[in-house]
Amino acid sequence: MHATVERQIRDSGLARTFLRPNAFADGLTAPVHEDDIAAVAERVLLDDGHEGAVHRLTGPVQVGAIGRAVGHGLRFVEVPPDQAGPELFPPVPPHMLQALVKALEATVGGTPETTDTVERITGAPARDFARWPGDHVDDFRH
């Protein structure tokens, strides 16, 4: 789906820069804070040299930050991919669920990709993911 949209934008002839954020807190990943995405987008819009670029955005690897932010431990329960249902990912359209589960399954046991893109473009290192749950602690309590 993303590749189709990017191809259509490329084919339009418009000047463009693609920002490809990494995961947002699924599995063992290097999630990127949305404020870092915004900071990179700002620099891309204001600075020369990004036209036609594709920037992969990650933060540093983090585990357990949400539990610390809400003040209690979270329990990790591995669910076999064939048992992952829509209740685990309510916002994901049902026809895309298995593709998402397969993508997450592929990350098990691997080393998450990390990039220096946020720091290289903005001049500041990517925010530690431990900051994100604190920025959104009220979202977890509702």
Span 71-118, pLDDT tens digits: 777 776 777 888 888 888 888 888 888 888 888 888 777 777 889 999
Residue with the bigger pLDDT between 26 and 82: it is: 82
Cα distances (Å, whole numbers) of residue 26 to 29, 50, 67, 89, 134: 7, 29, 14, 10, 17
Query: Given pLDDT bands bounded at 50, 70 and 90, which one contains residue 63?
Result: low
- Cα–Cα distance measured from residue 52 to residue 45, given in angstroms and rounded to the nearest whole number: 12
The pTM score is 0.62
Task: Give the structural domain span for 50.
Answer: 2-137
| CATH code of the domain in which 76 resides | 3.40.50.720
Q: Does residue 105 sit within a domain?
A: yes
Q: Does residue 89 sit within a domain?
A: yes
Quote the pLDDT of residue 39: 95
Q: Does residue 142 sit within a domain?
A: no
Q: Does residue 125 sit within a domain?
A: yes
- The number of distinct structural domains making up the chain is 1
Share of the chain above pLDDT 90, in %: 32
First-to-final CA distance of the chain? 31
